[in-house]
Amino acid sequence: MSEVADAWAREDLTDIDRKGLLRSLEPLASPQGPVIRIGGQSLINFSSNDYLGLAADPRVVRAFVVGLERWGVGAGASRLVVGDTDAHRRLEARLAAFEGTEAVLLLNGGYPGNLGLVPALVGRGDLVVSDALNHASLIDGCRLARAEVAIVAHADPDAFARALTGTGFRRKLVVTDAVFSMDGDQAPLAPLAEVCARHGAALLVDEAHATGVLGARGSGLCEATGVRPDVRMGTLGKALGGFGAYAAASRAVVELFVNRARSVVFSTTLPPALCEALVAAVDLLEHDAELRPRLWRNIHRFVGGLRRALRASAFLRERGVLVKAIRPPTVAEGTSRLRFALSAGHTEAQIDHALHALEEARAHGLVTA
Protein backbone atom coordinates (compact mmCIF):
# COMPACT_ATOMS: atom_id res chain seq x y z
CA MET A 1 0.00 0.00 0.00
CA SER A 2 1.28 3.45 -0.86
CA GLU A 3 2.04 5.48 2.26
CA VAL A 4 1.99 8.96 0.74
CA ALA A 5 -1.46 9.89 2.11
CA ASP A 6 -0.64 8.21 5.40
CA ALA A 7 2.31 10.58 5.87
CA TRP A 8 0.10 13.56 5.00
CA ALA A 9 -2.48 12.37 7.52
CA ARG A 10 0.04 11.95 10.34
CA GLU A 11 1.45 15.42 9.71
CA ASP A 12 -1.99 17.08 9.65
CA LEU A 13 -3.30 15.14 12.66
CA THR A 14 -0.29 16.18 14.71
CA ASP A 15 -1.04 19.77 13.80
CA ILE A 16 -4.76 19.46 14.65
CA ASP A 17 -3.86 17.78 17.95
CA ARG A 18 -1.34 20.50 18.84
CA LYS A 19 -4.15 23.05 18.46
CA GLY A 20 -6.31 20.98 20.82
CA LEU A 21 -8.85 20.38 18.04
CA LEU A 22 -8.53 16.64 17.47
CA ARG A 23 -11.94 14.97 17.43
CA SER A 24 -12.89 11.32 17.53
CA LEU A 25 -15.92 9.12 17.11
CA GLU A 26 -17.82 7.66 20.07
CA PRO A 27 -19.97 4.64 19.22
CA LEU A 28 -23.35 4.24 20.92
CA ALA A 29 -24.26 0.81 22.22
CA SER A 30 -27.97 1.68 22.24
CA PRO A 31 -30.56 3.15 19.86
CA GLN A 32 -30.97 6.91 19.73
CA GLY A 33 -33.14 8.15 22.61
CA PRO A 34 -33.32 10.28 25.77
CA VAL A 35 -30.97 7.81 27.51
CA ILE A 36 -28.12 6.29 25.52
CA ARG A 37 -25.24 3.95 26.34
CA ILE A 38 -21.66 4.94 25.51
CA GLY A 39 -18.58 3.09 26.78
CA GLY A 40 -20.58 1.07 29.31
CA GLN A 41 -22.17 4.20 30.81
CA SER A 42 -25.85 5.24 30.61
CA LEU A 43 -26.13 8.94 29.85
CA ILE A 44 -29.07 11.35 29.63
CA ASN A 45 -28.78 12.58 26.07
CA PHE A 46 -28.97 16.34 25.45
CA SER A 47 -26.97 16.27 22.21
CA SER A 48 -29.27 14.68 19.64
CA ASN A 49 -31.37 16.27 16.89
CA ASP A 50 -34.01 13.55 17.38
CA TYR A 51 -36.27 16.27 18.77
CA LEU A 52 -39.50 14.22 18.80
CA GLY A 53 -38.04 10.85 19.75
CA LEU A 54 -39.10 9.38 16.40
CA ALA A 55 -35.72 7.76 15.55
CA ALA A 56 -36.59 4.66 17.59
CA ASP A 57 -40.38 5.06 17.80
CA PRO A 58 -41.87 1.54 17.45
CA ARG A 59 -44.50 2.80 14.98
CA VAL A 60 -41.82 4.19 12.65
CA VAL A 61 -39.63 1.11 13.14
CA ARG A 62 -42.59 -1.12 12.22
CA ALA A 63 -43.19 0.82 8.98
CA PHE A 64 -39.47 0.49 8.16
CA VAL A 65 -39.56 -3.29 8.72
CA VAL A 66 -42.67 -3.69 6.56
CA GLY A 67 -40.97 -1.51 3.92
CA LEU A 68 -37.80 -3.63 4.06
CA GLU A 69 -39.82 -6.80 3.50
CA ARG A 70 -41.48 -5.21 0.49
CA TRP A 71 -38.57 -3.31 -1.09
CA GLY A 72 -35.35 -4.85 0.23
CA VAL A 73 -32.51 -2.70 1.56
CA GLY A 74 -31.11 -0.41 -1.13
CA ALA A 75 -32.55 1.70 -3.94
CA GLY A 76 -29.85 0.44 -6.31
CA ALA A 77 -29.54 3.60 -8.41
CA SER A 78 -30.25 7.32 -8.61
CA ARG A 79 -33.86 8.42 -9.13
CA LEU A 80 -33.25 9.19 -12.82
CA VAL A 81 -31.90 5.71 -13.54
CA VAL A 82 -33.95 2.98 -11.78
CA GLY A 83 -33.97 4.21 -8.16
CA ASP A 84 -37.37 5.90 -8.37
CA THR A 85 -40.15 3.91 -6.62
CA ASP A 86 -43.75 4.27 -5.52
CA ALA A 87 -42.39 4.67 -1.97
CA HIS A 88 -40.40 7.77 -2.99
CA ARG A 89 -43.49 9.19 -4.71
CA ARG A 90 -45.67 8.44 -1.67
CA LEU A 91 -43.27 10.23 0.66
CA GLU A 92 -42.97 13.23 -1.68
CA ALA A 93 -46.75 13.50 -1.98
CA ARG A 94 -47.10 13.19 1.82
CA LEU A 95 -44.49 15.92 2.37
CA ALA A 96 -46.03 18.19 -0.29
CA ALA A 97 -49.40 17.93 1.50
CA PHE A 98 -47.72 18.54 4.87
CA GLU A 99 -45.81 21.56 3.53
CA GLY A 100 -48.79 22.87 1.54
CA THR A 101 -46.59 23.16 -1.53
CA GLU A 102 -46.95 22.24 -5.20
CA ALA A 103 -44.06 19.80 -5.26
CA VAL A 104 -41.35 18.17 -3.17
CA LEU A 105 -38.08 16.50 -4.14
CA LEU A 106 -36.28 14.08 -1.83
CA LEU A 107 -32.60 14.77 -1.16
CA ASN A 108 -29.94 12.50 0.33
CA GLY A 109 -29.53 14.74 3.38
CA GLY A 110 -29.49 18.42 4.20
CA TYR A 111 -25.79 18.68 3.46
CA PRO A 112 -25.78 17.05 0.01
CA GLY A 113 -29.13 18.73 -0.62
CA ASN A 114 -27.80 22.26 -0.22
CA LEU A 115 -24.75 21.36 -2.31
CA GLY A 116 -27.15 20.51 -5.12
CA LEU A 117 -29.85 23.16 -4.73
CA VAL A 118 -27.80 26.37 -4.73
CA PRO A 119 -25.80 25.60 -7.92
CA ALA A 120 -29.01 24.42 -9.61
CA LEU A 121 -30.47 27.91 -9.16
CA VAL A 122 -27.50 30.20 -9.73
CA GLY A 123 -24.10 30.17 -11.46
CA ARG A 124 -21.50 32.47 -12.98
CA GLY A 125 -22.79 36.00 -13.44
CA ASP A 126 -25.28 35.63 -10.56
CA LEU A 127 -25.21 36.86 -6.96
CA VAL A 128 -25.85 34.86 -3.79
CA VAL A 129 -26.29 36.71 -0.50
CA SER A 130 -25.62 34.47 2.48
CA ASP A 131 -25.95 35.01 6.25
CA ALA A 132 -22.57 34.97 8.03
CA LEU A 133 -23.73 32.18 10.35
CA ASN A 134 -25.26 29.89 7.74
CA HIS A 135 -24.62 26.16 7.97
CA ALA A 136 -21.56 24.70 6.23
CA SER A 137 -23.81 23.03 3.64
CA LEU A 138 -25.10 26.40 2.40
CA ILE A 139 -21.59 27.87 2.48
CA ASP A 140 -20.30 24.97 0.39
CA GLY A 141 -23.34 25.12 -1.93
CA CYS A 142 -22.54 28.78 -2.59
CA ARG A 143 -18.89 27.91 -3.34
CA LEU A 144 -19.92 25.21 -5.80
CA ALA A 145 -22.31 27.57 -7.58
CA ARG A 146 -19.41 29.76 -8.78
CA ALA A 147 -21.66 32.78 -8.45
CA GLU A 148 -20.46 35.90 -6.69
CA VAL A 149 -21.11 35.36 -2.98
CA ALA A 150 -21.76 38.21 -0.54
CA ILE A 151 -21.56 37.11 3.08
CA VAL A 152 -23.50 39.57 5.22
CA ALA A 153 -23.95 40.38 8.92
CA HIS A 154 -25.95 37.78 10.79
CA ALA A 155 -29.76 38.15 10.76
CA ASP A 156 -29.55 41.75 9.52
CA PRO A 157 -32.14 42.47 6.78
CA ASP A 158 -30.53 45.87 6.05
CA ALA A 159 -27.21 44.14 5.33
CA PHE A 160 -29.00 41.79 2.92
CA ALA A 161 -30.69 44.77 1.26
CA ARG A 162 -27.37 46.61 0.83
CA ALA A 163 -25.74 43.55 -0.74
CA LEU A 164 -28.68 43.15 -3.14
CA THR A 165 -28.27 46.66 -4.55
CA GLY A 166 -25.30 45.35 -6.62
CA THR A 167 -26.00 45.61 -10.36
CA GLY A 168 -25.03 43.64 -13.44
CA PHE A 169 -26.10 40.27 -12.10
CA ARG A 170 -28.37 37.97 -14.06
CA ARG A 171 -30.05 36.48 -10.96
CA LYS A 172 -29.96 37.17 -7.22
CA LEU A 173 -30.53 34.55 -4.53
CA VAL A 174 -30.72 34.93 -0.74
CA VAL A 175 -29.90 31.86 1.37
CA THR A 176 -30.44 31.53 5.11
CA ASP A 177 -30.86 28.99 7.88
CA ALA A 178 -34.30 29.27 9.53
CA VAL A 179 -33.03 28.28 12.98
CA PHE A 180 -29.27 28.75 13.26
CA SER A 181 -27.75 25.48 14.31
CA MET A 182 -25.21 26.70 16.87
CA ASP A 183 -27.00 29.63 18.52
CA GLY A 184 -30.60 28.43 18.11
CA ASP A 185 -31.79 31.90 17.08
CA GLN A 186 -34.18 32.48 14.19
CA ALA A 187 -33.73 34.27 10.87
CA PRO A 188 -35.85 37.43 10.41
CA LEU A 189 -37.78 35.73 7.61
CA ALA A 190 -40.56 38.27 7.08
CA PRO A 191 -38.19 41.24 6.59
CA LEU A 192 -35.89 39.07 4.45
CA ALA A 193 -38.80 38.06 2.21
CA GLU A 194 -39.74 41.70 1.87
CA VAL A 195 -36.13 42.65 0.94
CA CYS A 196 -36.07 39.83 -1.64
CA ALA A 197 -39.36 40.98 -3.18
CA ARG A 198 -38.03 44.55 -3.42
CA HIS A 199 -34.88 43.41 -5.25
CA GLY A 200 -36.36 40.66 -7.40
CA ALA A 201 -34.29 38.06 -5.53
CA ALA A 202 -35.26 34.45 -4.84
CA LEU A 203 -35.22 33.17 -1.24
CA LEU A 204 -34.02 29.72 -0.12
CA VAL A 205 -34.64 28.85 3.54
CA ASP A 206 -32.92 25.90 5.24
CA GLU A 207 -35.45 24.60 7.79
CA ALA A 208 -33.16 21.81 9.06
CA HIS A 209 -33.74 22.47 12.77
CA ALA A 210 -37.25 23.88 12.38
CA THR A 211 -38.88 21.01 10.47
CA GLY A 212 -41.14 19.15 12.91
CA VAL A 213 -40.61 21.73 15.64
CA LEU A 214 -41.89 25.20 14.70
CA GLY A 215 -45.21 26.32 13.18
CA ALA A 216 -48.76 25.36 14.13
CA ARG A 217 -48.52 22.15 12.09
CA GLY A 218 -44.81 21.68 12.66
CA SER A 219 -43.54 22.37 9.16
CA GLY A 220 -41.09 25.04 10.28
CA LEU A 221 -40.31 28.72 10.69
CA CYS A 222 -41.80 29.67 7.29
CA GLU A 223 -45.14 28.33 8.48
CA ALA A 224 -44.75 30.08 11.86
CA THR A 225 -44.02 33.43 10.21
CA GLY A 226 -46.34 33.08 7.20
CA VAL A 227 -43.43 33.46 4.77
CA ARG A 228 -43.59 31.58 1.45
CA PRO A 229 -40.02 31.50 0.05
CA ASP A 230 -39.11 30.11 -3.35
CA VAL A 231 -37.47 27.03 -1.81
CA ARG A 232 -37.71 25.44 1.63
CA MET A 233 -35.18 22.74 2.48
CA GLY A 234 -36.45 20.49 5.28
CA THR A 235 -34.60 17.59 6.88
CA LEU A 236 -35.74 14.02 7.52
CA GLY A 237 -32.84 13.06 9.80
CA LYS A 238 -33.54 15.38 12.71
CA ALA A 239 -37.09 15.81 14.14
CA LEU A 240 -38.46 13.23 11.70
CA GLY A 241 -36.01 10.67 13.06
CA GLY A 242 -34.81 9.09 9.79
CA PHE A 243 -32.30 10.24 7.21
CA GLY A 244 -32.39 12.49 4.18
CA ALA A 245 -33.98 15.82 3.37
CA TYR A 246 -36.35 17.44 0.89
CA ALA A 247 -36.86 20.59 -1.14
CA ALA A 248 -40.39 22.06 -1.15
CA ALA A 249 -41.00 24.40 -4.08
CA SER A 250 -43.08 24.99 -7.20
CA ARG A 251 -43.41 22.15 -9.73
CA ALA A 252 -41.06 23.91 -12.18
CA VAL A 253 -38.37 24.51 -9.53
CA VAL A 254 -38.54 20.86 -8.46
CA GLU A 255 -38.25 19.78 -12.10
CA LEU A 256 -35.18 21.99 -12.46
CA PHE A 257 -33.64 20.31 -9.37
CA VAL A 258 -34.38 16.85 -10.86
CA ASN A 259 -32.44 17.92 -13.94
CA ARG A 260 -29.66 19.96 -12.43
CA ALA A 261 -29.01 19.25 -8.74
CA ARG A 262 -25.85 17.16 -9.04
CA SER A 263 -26.19 15.55 -5.59
CA VAL A 264 -29.55 14.20 -6.81
CA VAL A 265 -28.59 13.31 -10.37
CA PHE A 266 -25.30 11.59 -9.55
CA SER A 267 -26.10 9.78 -6.30
CA THR A 268 -27.99 6.64 -5.24
CA THR A 269 -31.29 7.71 -3.74
CA LEU A 270 -32.77 6.98 -0.31
CA PRO A 271 -33.77 3.36 0.37
CA PRO A 272 -37.49 2.97 -0.46
CA ALA A 273 -38.11 1.24 2.90
CA LEU A 274 -36.83 4.38 4.62
CA CYS A 275 -39.35 6.39 2.60
CA GLU A 276 -42.12 4.15 4.00
CA ALA A 277 -40.79 4.73 7.55
CA LEU A 278 -40.74 8.48 6.92
CA VAL A 279 -44.35 8.50 5.71
CA ALA A 280 -45.21 6.99 9.12
CA ALA A 281 -43.06 9.65 10.84
CA VAL A 282 -44.85 12.51 9.01
CA ASP A 283 -48.22 10.90 9.90
CA LEU A 284 -47.17 10.87 13.58
CA LEU A 285 -45.94 14.44 13.41
CA GLU A 286 -49.35 15.53 12.10
CA HIS A 287 -51.65 13.24 14.04
CA ASP A 288 -50.01 12.33 17.38
CA ALA A 289 -51.48 15.15 19.45
CA GLU A 290 -48.96 14.57 22.27
CA LEU A 291 -45.60 14.66 20.42
CA ARG A 292 -44.97 18.34 19.86
CA PRO A 293 -46.71 19.58 23.05
CA ARG A 294 -44.42 17.21 25.02
CA LEU A 295 -41.34 18.73 23.33
CA TRP A 296 -42.55 22.25 24.06
CA ARG A 297 -43.38 21.43 27.71
CA ASN A 298 -39.82 20.14 28.10
CA ILE A 299 -38.36 23.23 26.41
CA HIS A 300 -40.35 25.57 28.68
CA ARG A 301 -39.43 23.64 31.83
CA PHE A 302 -35.75 23.68 30.91
CA VAL A 303 -35.64 27.33 29.87
CA GLY A 304 -37.63 28.29 33.00
CA GLY A 305 -35.04 26.54 35.17
CA LEU A 306 -32.17 28.25 33.39
CA ARG A 307 -33.81 31.64 33.68
CA ARG A 308 -34.41 31.28 37.45
CA ALA A 309 -30.80 30.29 38.11
CA LEU A 310 -29.56 33.19 35.97
CA ARG A 311 -31.95 35.67 37.59
CA ALA A 312 -30.89 34.54 41.06
CA SER A 313 -27.25 34.89 40.04
CA ALA A 314 -27.85 38.43 38.71
CA PHE A 315 -29.85 39.36 41.86
CA LEU A 316 -26.98 38.28 44.13
CA ARG A 317 -24.39 40.02 41.97
CA GLU A 318 -26.29 43.30 42.34
CA ARG A 319 -25.83 42.80 46.11
CA GLY A 320 -22.10 42.28 45.73
CA VAL A 321 -22.11 38.47 45.81
CA LEU A 322 -20.60 36.58 42.87
CA VAL A 323 -22.01 33.09 42.51
CA LYS A 324 -22.31 31.55 39.05
CA ALA A 325 -25.37 29.67 37.83
CA ILE A 326 -24.54 26.06 37.01
CA ARG A 327 -26.79 24.81 34.25
CA PRO A 328 -27.31 21.65 32.22
CA PRO A 329 -25.47 19.85 30.74
CA THR A 330 -23.17 20.34 33.78
CA VAL A 331 -26.11 19.31 36.01
CA ALA A 332 -29.30 17.38 35.20
CA GLU A 333 -32.25 19.07 33.51
CA GLY A 334 -34.49 20.89 36.02
CA THR A 335 -31.72 21.08 38.65
CA SER A 336 -29.94 24.32 37.65
CA ARG A 337 -28.26 25.71 40.74
CA LEU A 338 -26.06 28.36 42.25
CA ARG A 339 -22.72 26.87 43.20
CA PHE A 340 -21.27 28.49 46.33
CA ALA A 341 -17.58 27.71 46.78
CA LEU A 342 -16.41 28.56 50.27
CA SER A 343 -12.82 29.59 50.98
CA ALA A 344 -10.78 29.78 54.14
CA GLY A 345 -10.10 33.38 53.13
CA HIS A 346 -13.77 34.48 53.46
CA THR A 347 -14.52 36.57 56.56
CA GLU A 348 -17.55 35.90 58.77
CA ALA A 349 -19.02 39.23 57.62
CA GLN A 350 -18.72 38.21 53.98
CA ILE A 351 -20.44 34.91 54.66
CA ASP A 352 -23.21 36.62 56.61
CA HIS A 353 -23.65 39.12 53.76
CA ALA A 354 -24.01 36.28 51.27
CA LEU A 355 -26.52 34.50 53.54
CA HIS A 356 -28.51 37.69 53.89
CA ALA A 357 -28.58 38.25 50.09
CA LEU A 358 -29.60 34.62 49.66
CA GLU A 359 -32.45 35.09 52.13
CA GLU A 360 -33.62 38.07 50.06
CA ALA A 361 -33.40 36.00 46.85
CA ARG A 362 -35.50 33.30 48.53
CA ALA A 363 -38.08 35.92 49.55
CA HIS A 364 -38.27 36.91 45.85
CA GLY A 365 -38.86 33.25 44.92
CA LEU A 366 -35.59 33.08 42.97
CA VAL A 367 -34.08 30.20 44.95
CA THR A 368 -35.88 27.28 46.55
CA ALA A 369 -33.30 25.60 48.75
What residues are labeled active site? Answer: 181, 209, 238
Q: Are 178 and 211 in contact (CB under 8 A)?
A: no
Taking the least distance from each CB to ligand PLP, the nearer of 177 and 276 is 177
Q: Which is nearer to ligand PLP, 110 or 212 (CB)?
A: 110
CA-to-CA distance for 48 and 39, rounded, in angstroms? 17
Q: In whole angstroms, how close is the CB of 215 to ligand PLP at the nearest point? A: 16
Query: What percent of the chain is helix, strand and coil (3-state, nearest 5)?
Result: 45, 15, 40
139, 78, 71: which is closest to 105 by C-alpha? 78
State the nearest-atom distance from the C-beta of 275 to ligand PLP, in Å.
15
- Output phi, psi for 150, to 5 deg: -110, 120
Write out the residues near ligand PLP by the rule CB under 6 A.
109-111, 135, 137, 177, 181, 206, 208-209, 235, 237, 245
* Closest CB 49 distance from ligand PLP, rounded Å: 7
CA distance 136 to 109: 13
Nearer to ligand PLP, 264 or 321 (CB): 264
Contact yes or no for 60/241 (Cβ under 8 A): yes
3-state class (DSSP) for residue 363? helix
Q: Which residue is nearest to ligand PLP (CB)?
A: 110
User: What span, in angstroms and rounded, lies between the C-alpha atoms of 239 and 285?
Assistant: 9
Quick one: 179 or 354, whose CB is closer to ligand PLP? 179
Max intra-chain CA distance, the chain: 80
Cβ 73 to ligand PLP shortest distance, Å: 20
